Structure 1
Amino acid sequence: MRVSALEKTANYVILSLFALYAIFPIVTIAVTALRPKIGVTDPGLHIENFAEAWELGKFGSALTNSVLVALLVVSVALTFSVLAGYAFGTMRFRGSTFLFYLFLLGLMVPAEAIVIPLFFDLRTLGLTDTIWAVALPQIAQSVAFGTFWMRSQFRAMPPNLIEAASIDGAGGLRALVRIMIPPALPSIATVAVLMFMWTWNEFLIPLVMSPSGVWRTAPLGLSIFKGQYTADHALLSAAGVIIAAPIVVAFLFLQRYFINGMLEGAAKE
């Protein structure tokens, strides 16, 4: 299908407007973070706002906690998602449909509905105020989506790949590692980025599962900082940039795989 010059121009104009609409809030926050804070009259760029926000908000421990939780959640959830998606996508066994829909319950039940009884269960086990209390509920949520995503990926692959691996004497795990995972890397990277973003931005579960604040994560630290420095927009914006920076960096490193994975998913639909 041929596209006229007018249609191409209209597409570029519309996409440019949407891009500006998406980028404008980000640019606004970045510019505000460099403005003078309250009581400062110097009109220049104030990079020191980031250092001051870091020190006042004590974001070092919060960011460390978020990194540790995110690494634990993503590594465990991604491993389980690939294994479960491989089983549901390539194997036929009794009860597979029921088990798959049981996994999907993790997508249907909101965290707000179960976080309180889950807190009491974890407290009984002595896990509250530990990394496991913060990570385990998020692992369960991430595995539900990851299994759904990876099942679709593995089901879209040619069945003769598994048959050829079986003929060559490769077992199920070896076929997964050597045959199925390499072409699925874009989808795996997409799931990893999404899991990292969701875990990094999670607010309710760390708030409830760590009552003493030992495992206070970055969003909780930003919330407390916002309550203390509500009127100083420069410091608030600097703190927001600090909290968002790891997500931006992770996306920039994995954007090629992320976009490829999203495009492959759209093509399969």
Structure 2
Amino acid sequence: MRTSRSELLLGRLLLAAALILTLLPLISMLSAALQPADRNPTGIVWPTDPQWGNFVTAFEVGNVWRLMTSSAFIVLGVVPASMLIATLAGYALGALAPKGGRAVLIIFIAGLTIPFEALIIPLYYQSQAMGTLNTQWAVIFPLLGLFMPFSVFWMRAHFINVPRELSEAARVDGASVFQEFRQIQLPLALPALSALAILLFLWTWNQFLLPVVLIADPLDRTVAGALTFFQGQYSLSIPLLNAGALLIITPAIIVFLIFQRQFVRALLQGAVKG
């Protein structure tokens, strides 16, 4: 089906509007961050003398490096383990079709409906009982479980659409289940895995509620969870507060920009298969 010129124009206009709405808050934050630290900026006004030193001050005084190290530790504890478990479970549910797999899938889908907020109090007492309260592990373990329903559902959606002829041909050639999974299924799953890794990274890096509740020391939280710490330090300096917020969100923006092609490829792949 050919796209008409009016539909093409409308699509471009919507993309332009979405781009403006996305960039406008970032531009506003950048213009505010470059104002003198003792000034209260109003509106988007580019300063005549940009104070780039505000970012250095926010980085040093706000202990941004330690916050990013804590966030990186949590990300490394959540993302690889989630991808490994989700890939194995998704392959089992999507390609092997075990008995009772549909019931397991329904349980995972039901898990998608549970909000984080409803689990905060049980997670607090569970972390206290496990001895992980006020450590990064108090966030890592819950996130592994909370992200698992979506992760398994995402990977199952990929494996269930892989042609079964590939698996049958591998079995005829004498390949075991593990050999087929490693040599055939995993290479085909790279786009889906890349997109899942991006999503898990962004969700973990930007996790706010769990670190605030389960970790007392702000410097041991995620960078997003430390926003309240920034607000307390820079409550009287809007430019420094904006500079700190920009430093916090920059790694997430960089990761998405680097891997956006893989992300779009996985979405388009799923759309074509569906």
Q: Distance in 2 between matches of 1:214 and 1:5?
A: 53
Q: Distance in 2 between matches of 1:9 and 1:113?
A: 44
1:192 is matched with which residue?
197
Q: Distance in 1 between matches of 2:217 and 2:15?
A: 47
CA separation of 1:27/1:261 partners in 2, compared to 1, >3 Å: closer, same or farther? same
1:9 is matched with which residue?
9
Whether the 8 Å CA contact 1:81–1:143 is kept in 2: the answer is yes
Cα displacement string for residues 131-177 of structure 1 (whole angstroms, at most 9, x for unaligned residues): 32110110111221110011010001100111111122222222112
Whether the 8 Å CA contact 2:34–2:50 is kept in 1: the answer is yes
Q: Offset at 1:268?
A: 3.2
One-letter code of the match for 1:80?
I
Q: Offset at 1:8?
A: 3.3
One-letter code of the match for 2:36?
P
Q: Offset at 1:244?
A: 0.5
Q: Offset at 1:201?
A: 1.0
2:93 is matched with which residue?
88
After TM superposition, list the pairs within 5 Å mapping 1:1-269 onto structure 2. Answer: 1-38=1-38, 43-213=48-218, 215-269=220-274
Worse-superposed segment, 20-29 or 81-90: 20-29
Q: Distance in 1 between matches of 2:11 and 2:126?
A: 53
Cα displacement string for residues 107-144 of structure 1 (whole angstroms, at most 9, x for unaligned residues): 11112112212221221121222332110110111221
One-letter code of the match for 2:162?
M
CA separation of 1:3/1:52 partners in 2, compared to 1, >3 Å: closer, same or farther? same
Cα displacement string for residues 194-235 of structure 1 (whole angstroms, at most 9, x for unaligned residues): 111111111121122223446222112222111332242211
Q: Offset at 1:104?
A: 2.5
- TM-score of the aligned structures, taking structure 2 as reference length: 0.91
Q: Distance in 2 between matches of 1:128 and 1:192?
A: 26
Q: CA RMSD in A?
A: 1.9
Whether the 8 Å CA contact 2:218–2:226 is kept in 1: the answer is no
**How many positions carry a matched residue from both structures?**
268
- TM-score of the aligned structures, taking structure 1 as reference length: 0.92
Unaligned runs of 5+ residues in structure 1 are none
One-letter code of the match for 1:9?
L
Q: Distance in 1 between matches of 2:242 and 2:39?
A: 16
One-letter code of the match for 1:66?
S
Whether the 8 Å CA contact 1:70–1:200 is kept in 2: the answer is yes
Q: Distance in 1 between matches of 2:60 and 2:212?
A: 22
Q: Offset at 1:52?
A: 0.4
Unaligned runs of 5+ residues in structure 2 are 41-46
Q: Distance in 2 between matches of 1:59 and 1:88?
A: 42
> Percent same amino acid among aligned pairs?
34
Q: Offset at 1:11?
A: 3.3
Q: Offset at 1:2?
A: 3.8
CA separation of 1:117/1:237 partners in 2, compared to 1, >3 Å: closer, same or farther? same
Whether the 8 Å CA contact 2:139–2:211 is kept in 1: the answer is yes
